[in-house]
Amino acid sequence: DHHRSRALCDGDINVSFEFFPPKTEKMEKTLWSSIGTLCPLHPNFVSVTYGAGGSTRERTHSTIERVLNETDLKPAAHLTCVGTKKEEIDEIIRDYWEIGVRHMVALRGDAPDGVGAPYEPTPGGYVNAADLVAGIKRIAPFEVHVAAYPEKHPQSPTVEADIDNLQAKIDAGADAAITQFFFDNEVFYRYMEKVRARGITIPITPGIIPIHNFKQVANFATRSGTYVPEWLGQRFEGLENHPVTQNLVAAAVAAEQVLELVDQGITDFHFYTLNRAELVYAICHLLGLRPTAAEQEKQAEVVS
């Protein structure tokens, strides 16, 4: 446990959090309460997703703007190539730079008919994530993250072809990658071995999804080609009507996953928060992350 004790005690752990732009006022309250809870853990950055086909364009923008204006967090804006011409995308990118955003997550996105449908580039648009990365870098020196797939993208014929595509994104200027979520750490280790063997050296941060709702997450997993080990399903079996226990189990499962990664020398984690703070806060706590004394006092005031 050499890595674990060193990493957890010396403050070597870095985290980032992903949020999605809220649709309703109630969801907006939930998001900002979650940001309030997670902010004192000092994430490297927080990212805000971009809805399919640009459906959340304004909401992504206003969430990013509010993060900039009301917190000292560094926002990363997701952007996809779907359904928008280059000139319009370029305008979005320039606008982000002008308001002070310095970090983007560049994605292709999916066909409007759903994740499984064959993808056709939008006429006049960026053709894929690599093309978008190049477009962003032409406009301004943003830090750019891209997606990586330890279990390969469902539309990639092989893991090798998928790593070729990651290489293309790096050649276009990508600085770092965040992985699709996975539950079997072996999958991640094997992927990293292959990626490093190919001479790819950029940081690749594992994406971790806490299981707030097993059925929902298993459903996401099926669509994204993520392997759901049988033992994982068994752990949540019969807890449908036990939300508190389900959450305790989810925290235990995620803690086991990240601590095992720490033992293997991983120190950076990206959390898919689904805009909820509790599980992520618990996992980060186990990773040794703490608010400062002053922040704890402030939180205590809010709670009491």
Q: Which stretch binds ligand FAD (CB under 6 A): 25-33, 92-100, 153-161, 212-220?
A: 153-161
- Nearest CB to ligand FAD, comparing residues 92 and 178: 178
- Nearest CB to ligand FAD, comparing residues 129 and 284: 129
Each residue 66-95 as x (binds ligand FAD by CB under 6 A) or -, in order, gives ------------x-x---------------
151 binds ligand FAD (CB under 6 A): no
Considering CB under 6 A, how many residues would be counted as binding ligand FAD? 23
Q: Which stretch binds ligand FAD (CB under 6 A): 4-12, 37-45, 100-108, 230-238?
A: 100-108
- Nearest CB to ligand FAD, comparing residues 212 and 235: 212
52 binds ligand FAD (CB under 6 A): yes
The least distance separating ligand FAD from the CB of residue 1, rounded to whole angstroms, comes to: 29
Give the burial class of 158: count Cβ atoms within 10 A of its Cβ; 0-12 exposed, 13-18 middle, 19 or more buried: exposed
The least distance separating ligand FAD from the CB of residue 187, rounded to whole angstroms, comes to: 14
Among positions 188-207, residues that touch ligand FAD (CB under 6 A) are 207
Q: How far apart, in whole angstroms, are the C-alpha atoms of residue 195 and residue 7? A: 24
Q: How far apart, in whole angstroms, are the C-alpha atoms of residue 185 and residue 206? A: 10
Q: Which stretch binds ligand FAD (CB under 6 A): 4-12, 156-164, 188-196, 238-246?
A: 156-164
Q: Is 120 a catalytic residue?
A: no
178 binds ligand FAD (CB under 6 A): yes
37 binds ligand FAD (CB under 6 A): no
153 binds ligand FAD (CB under 6 A): yes
Question: Which residue ranges make up the site for ligand FAD (CB under 6 A)?
Answer: 49-50, 52, 78, 80, 105, 107-110, 128-129, 147, 153, 155-156, 161-162, 165, 169, 178, 180, 207
User: What residues are labeled active site?
Assistant: 18
